[in-house]
Every structure is written in C-alpha cells, then in structure tokens.
Amino acid sequence: MTSPSAPAEAAAAVPAKPAAEAGAGVRFDWAYWLFPGPRRRFSEAEIARSGLKGWSSGIDCYVMSNVLVLGLVFYTMLPRHLAHVILIGGLAMASLGLGVGRWLWRQPTRTRFNGATLALSILMVLITLVMVKLGYRDEARDLLPFAAGGMTLTVSSWWFLTLYRTQQLGARLAELDAQDERIAMAQRLATAQIQPHFLFNTLASLQHWVDTRDDRAGPMLRSLTRYLRATLPMFEQDRLPLEQELQIVRSYLDIMQARLGQRLSWSLDADAAAGAVIAGASLPPGTLLTLAENAITHGIEPSLRGGHIAVRVKAADGRLRLEVQDGGQGLTPGACDGLGLANTRERLQAQFGAEARLGLEPAPDQAPGCLAWVELPTA
C-alpha cells in the first residue's frame, strides 16, 4: 500500500528550476515593443537574387476599389456635410497607403515601417490642427473617429505587409540556399563518379605494362596525368568551358582505348557551326564526361565485340547539341537514369532551366548501341 506521503516525497525529489530559468520564458523585449518590425534587413543583392521584386498592379486596383465601394455603401450614413470629405479623404489615404506599401515592399525594414507610422501620425495631427485653426473645430471632432480608424487600418496593413514580405524573401532565399546546397552536393557526387574502379583498373594495367616493359605504359601514363590534372579540380567550378570538357573526354577515351585495345575505337567531331561557338560555350562540369563514362560502362564493356564511340558537337538555331553514341549492346528494357545522369540533369536544369535538355535513346538508323545527347542554348 502506498504511503500518503509518497507524492510529496516524489515532488521533493524533482530538482527545482532556477528562478532565472523559470522566468526566462516571460521576458519582454522592450526594444521590440518600442521599435517594432522585423529585425532582418535584406541587401539589394539578396532581393535581386530572390527574384521577387515586382509589386502587382492588382493590389492597387483591389484596395482602391474596396475603399470606393465602402465609401459609397456608407455614404448615406455619414454626416451630410462631411460625407464628401470622408470619401475623398479615404481615397487619398488609400493612395498614400499604397505608395508607402510599395516603398516597404522594395525594402521591408523596421526602420521604414516605424518611420512611415511616425510620419502618418504627424500628418494626421497637422491636418487636425489646421482644421481647428481654420475654424472647423466641430468638423475635426466629428472626423476624428474616422481618421483614427483609417490610421489604425493603414498602419496594421503596413505591419502585416512588412512581415509578409520579410517572410516571403526569407523563405525564398532559404529555398535558393537549399537548392545551391543540392547542386553543390550533386557536384561532389559527380566528383565521386570519377569511379574508383576506373582509377584502380587503369593503375593496375599501367603497373603491369611497366613491369613487362610494354610500350603502351608511357602514352597511358601521359593520358592519365592529363585526365587527373583536368578532372580533380574541375568540380569546384559552376561552369566549365566546353573546350576543356572536350579535352577531358579525349584523355578519358585515350585511357580506355589503351585498356580495351581493339575492342574500342572512338572519334570526336564538331560541325562548322559548332566550331564557331565552342570557344565561348560552357556547361556544368562533367556533363559530357558522364555521357562518355556511361557509354563505356553500359555499352562497350559488357559487349564481347566492343564497339565505337562517336562524340559529336553540333550547333544550329542558337542551340548547342552534344552527342555521345556508342556501338555497344544498346539500351536494356526498362532502363532509367542512374545517379550520374540524374545529377547531370539536375545541374543542367539549375543552370539553364527549361532551355537545357538531356535525352537517352536507341541509336538511330537501326545501328547497334545507344545515343545520349544534351541540348542547351549557345548564349
């Protein structure tokens, strides 16, 4: 049977929170109450990066039409001698509020919000004093409730607009940061795609040729050195010149041809139009290399007879087309993007949007093998 004193003993066993910790949750930030508004300030570069710069004209139409409708609805309920003054004043207040709203939209800071609130308060006081000075004391007294209501509504609208705009920009920048992080992760994964087994197999072949004094060791070592010198730092860049990417692909295919011997032949061609734009073209690092690696891994190596890899660069109508066609075993049923193609597709979309496309299809003209291609704008 439990002793009646057990609950008290259990409560005594729980250590009491320090007084400072217990009161931490009810601490007021007086600076925030005296100078309200969002603390974060966005730079012009951040606002431009967000892409959320426009102020919709629909907001102006919506607010002004609502003020006009409300004024007409309550027109007959207003004092006869003040009805037109209140209606005109309401439209003027709405126009002023929209102008300040556009100003806050461009840079939603607490300084701007509090400055606009203070300026509006001073303006209302000055208008009231002028009316009293001109002998309209009774009218000023009758208009005071309407002026206070309109001012409260206007300041509240500015307050919510400032908070909304701050949250909108913050959320958009956070989304872009997350997207940049995904792209950076994709680039790191693409770096990891310089597959260890490719390097190990190449080094094993090189070691064997050195041991047996094979004449192929020297050219292989030179090709591997060029390949590593070009590929190891390239994924630190967002864009890589197409000329450099083509040189990397040449070095890679040289290495694979040395390893596979007569099972692999390759060619790299650019048409006349492409030759004029290659020097100024760039693309995400490893785009063409990924297509060449896939052609070797999934097309040539599994095929006993080997095959030919044709790398082609074409340009027409302001677009650049890169093709890698292999003469291997072709697409297997139900084939889908692997990690390399998925990363490449995502990086192309991030840099070029809908202007860039990546495709994988059977080789044309009933030829054996597979055709992988990338299209992107030349500008």
pLDDT tens for each residue of 148-203: 888 888 899 899 999 999 999 999 999 988 887 877 776 666 555 555 667 777 88
Half-sphere exposure of 93 (CA within 13 A, CB side): 28
Q: Of the ranges 95-99, 114-118, 303-307, 334-338, which one carries the lowest mean pLDDT score?
A: 334-338
- Reported as a single tens digit per residue, the pLDDT across 348-368 is 888 888 899 999 988 887 778
- CA-nearest of 176, 167, 166, 121 to 148 is 121
Rounded distance between C-alpha atoms, residue 63 and residue 220, angstroms: 73
- b/e code 206-234 from CB counts within 10 Å (16+ = b): beebeeeeeebbeebbebbebbeebbeeb
Confirm if 287 and 231 have CB atoms less than 8 A apart. Answer: no
Enumerate long-range contacts of 248-254, CB under 8 Å, 24 or more apart: 248/288, 248/289, 249/288, 249/289, 249/292, 249/311, 251/223, 251/224, 251/226, 251/227, 252/227, 252/289, 252/292, 252/293, 253/292, 253/309, 253/311, 254/219, 254/223
User: Which tokens is 258 given?
Assistant: 């040395």
pLDDT the model gives residue 103:
92
Rounded distance between C-alpha atoms, residue 65 and residue 91, angstroms: 9
What lies within 8 Å, CB to CB, of 24 at 6+ separation is none
Average pLDDT over residues 51-65: 81
pLDDT band at 308 (very low <50, low <70, confident <90, very high): very high
What lies within 8 Å, CB to CB, of 233 at 6+ separation is none
pLDDT the model gives residue 187:
61
- b/e code 257-280 from CB counts within 10 Å (16+ = b): bbbbeebbebebebeeebeebbee
| pLDDT: which is higher, 22 or 369 | 369
Average pLDDT over residues 251-271: 91
